[in-house]
Structure 1
Amino acid sequence: MNKKRYIFPKRFFDILFSLMVLVLILSWLTPLVAIIIWLESRENTFFKQERIGKNGKPFNIFKFKSMKGVCPVNDPLLSKDEEARITKFGHFIRKYRIDEFPQFYNVLIGDMSIVGPRPERQFFLDEMVKYIPKYKQMQLLKPGITSLGQIRYGYADTLEQMLKRAKYDLIYLDNLTFWTDIKVIISTIKIVFQGKGK
């Protein structure tokens, strides 16, 4: 693979696409979501959490808040462990993956890409590498809003499921092309409109 022929158009597309989303969608969606979240739970609009990016560099990921209360900082819980904290509106924005939209800001500033491995916390990355040593190579890529693992497997509620999903991300690692990214994006858009998110 010619890295320049892949990385340059990928970054150009990331910037262009994320700018379009920020201007055309998030500009009006954010205040609307903020009002609904406040009316339902008196919570802040955004959820922020440290994730691991390219070359092991930590960054703060942003999402629309779908849970009540504060996530434990030092307790690496999976989503199934916090199901009771999800609000009614939270279930809706998760189903249509609306909660993920603020990550386009992460893409714009260069922390993430639109397509790439799912951004994980250090604890779960370390656990996956124990079972799949090759998964360490995923840190050569920027994490993505969507991934081959997300569209082929979906959300993971246990470490075992995360390991199964990781195998699809390794397939992506071995097939890095701009066309692969486009196919993943098209599949993701279909999933969003079908409401097949969590």
Structure 2
Amino acid sequence: MQVWMPSPTLSTTRSFTASDWLWHGAGIAMCQLAGSLLGWYNYRFWIMGPDAYGMVGLIVLSYVGSVLSSRRVLRFAKTDLLTTVFVSTLFWFLLTSAVLVLSRWYFSRTYLLGAFVMAFLWQALYLWLQKPDRYRLALIPGGLADALPGLGGIDWQILDTPRFVQVQAVVMDPYHTSDSRWLRFVAEMSLRGIPLLHAAAVYEGLTGRVSLEHHSEAFLEDWRLPTFYPYFKRVIDVCAVLLSLPLSLPLMLLVALLIRLDSKGPVLFWQERVGQGGRPFKMVKFRTMRLDAEKDGSCFARSDDDRITQVGRILRKFRLDELPQFWNVLRGEMSLIGPRPEQVEFAKQFSNQIPLYPYRHMVKPGLTGWAQVHQGYAAGADETIEKLTYDLYYVKHLSLWLDMLIAFKTLRTIFTGFGAR
């Protein structure tokens, strides 16, 4: 019995066919043609001489890399096709530009621009042509399956009795469906080539969240930290922080000056938080509240919290108060991307009250994360439970591709101030 998990862009996750290879082969040629016409006013890019071979070869690699990364990112929930393709293509072409500059190979800015625009348009057209208007799934009622209708723009065919329907897959919560009639029906559908989807996996694929009510600790029994990615991620964290210092240091000095002019007290605020493996560490951030903000003990920040200073409200809106945590990243206590670290007192409380809460500590906490770009700050136990559903999705699907998606969405958060408190 085949079990798999769909995503909102299900068709982009299928295996490459001969027509796909032909399409992308033509796309590579079109990129070179567009770049040559814009950069050299000549479509015959192959006669430009050995000096241009390095740039031409890197454009081929950029196109292939953007195709593969877009396919991986689009497997996750809450992805936008055009945005994902654009940012993925932009990332690879910026990487190509950096390699060309550092290596001092010959390159043409207009050639790269023409190739980039063509790569984006060609891949966007490819995905748009594949995507069906609406997915049609059969739903066997019971358990988590009852929460699925209305999600993801799916054409749900809710079955009251076992009967054959023309659909792409059958969705069922096996923990709440033990009737032998349904089991025979699922087997018959599977023999017809129609796969079975687990309702929990479908819920994750459409919402980007883990259903706590329908999971036990067994939901992580087959999960392991990627062997090499945490080390690679550490290198990315350190390099990103160091490369950002020429921009971030002057910005932090300006923020520090504004805080001193706005209110009395220290510029920085240190607080014990829970890190990877449940180990506490001292997290630093810019102070955004009055000195007496926690005279009655720790409590969550509210959207209309009168403890927050005028400057602090702006800093929180655009996440500028988190900049000093670059120090925690360099020390290896945090990552740029991961679940937000919680206060020790609250973490102990939630560990006793909320099932699976300690599992969010299996990875390093981060400056931004899957929960932050979708929910924002949590202000209480109920919102913390919702936040945990996002955090556990991140833990289960930890990868470079998911981190790339979070980085894309973080830019939107910074520019819009989404979820600030």
What TM-score, normalized to structure 1?
0.91
Instruction: State whether residues 96 and 197 of structure 1, in contact with CA within 8 Å, keep that contact through their aligned partners in structure 2.
Output: no
Tell me if the contact between 1:117 and 1:169 (Cα under 8 Å) persists in the aligned partners: yes
Deviation at 1:99, TM superposition (A): 0.6
Give the one of 273, 291, 294 matched to 1:51. Answer: 273
Per-residue Cα deviation, 1:102-161 (whole angstroms, up to 9, x for no partner): 111111110101111110012222232234332212222111111111111111111111
Match of 1:186 among 401, 408, 411: 408
Aligned to 1:154: 376
Alignment partner of 2:259 out of 8, 32, 37? 37
- Note the C-alpha offset of 1:25: 2.5
Q: Which has the larger radius of gyration?
A: 2
Q: Which runs of 5+ in 2 are unaligned?
A: 1-223
Once the two structures are TM-superposed, the CA of residue 74 in structure 1 deviates from its matched residue by: 8.0
Q: Structure 2 CA distance, aligned partners of 1:81 and 1:60?
A: 25
Name 2:115's counterpart in structure 1. none
The 3 A distance-change label for structure 1 pair 97 and 153 is same
Say whether the 8 Å CA contact 1:53–1:142 is kept in structure 2: yes
The 3 A distance-change label for structure 1 pair 56 and 71 is farther
Instruction: List structure 1 segments (4+ residues) > 4 angstroms apart after TM superposition.
Output: none
Paired residue secondary structure (2:398): coil
Q: Select the residue among 104, 112, 129 that pairs with 2:326.
A: 104
Aligned with 2:248 (options 26, 39, 46): 26
Do the aligned partners of residues 43 and 2 (structure 1) sit closer, same or farther apart at CA in structure 2, a change above 3 Å counting?
A: closer
Write out aligned runs for 1:1-198 (5 A): 3-21=226-244, 23-72=245-294, 75-80=297-302, 83-198=305-420
Q: CA deviation at 1:17?
A: 1.0
- Alignment-mate amino acid for residue 230 of structure 2: I
Amino acid corresponding to residue 84 of structure 1 in structure 2: D
**Greater shift in the superposed pair: 71-80 or 188-197:** 71-80
TM-score (norm 2): 0.44
Which whole-Å CA distance do the structure 2 matches of 1:180 and 1:119 have between them? 19
Query: 2:273 is paired with a residue of what secondary structure?
Result: strand
Shift of 1:81: 9.5
State the AA in 2 paired with 1:98. Answer: L
Structure 1 residues 36 and 54, CA gap change in structure 2 (3 angstroms): same
- 5+ unaligned residues in a row in structure 1: which ranges? none
Cα-Cα RMSD: 2.0
Instruction: Look up the SS of the partner of 2:270 in the other structure.
Output: strand
Q: Separation in 2 of the partners of 1:153 and 1:81?
A: 13
Structure 1 equivalent of residue 58 of structure 2: none
- Give the corresponding residue for 2:38: none
Distance 1:2 1:96, change over 3 A: closer
- Cα 1:143/1:58, change in 2 over 3 Å: same
Distance 1:121 1:24, change over 3 A: same
The 8 Å contact of residues 118 and 145 in structure 1, kept in 2 or not, is answered as yes
Structure 1 residues 115 and 73: alpha-carbon distance in aligned structure 2, compared to 1, 3 A threshold: farther
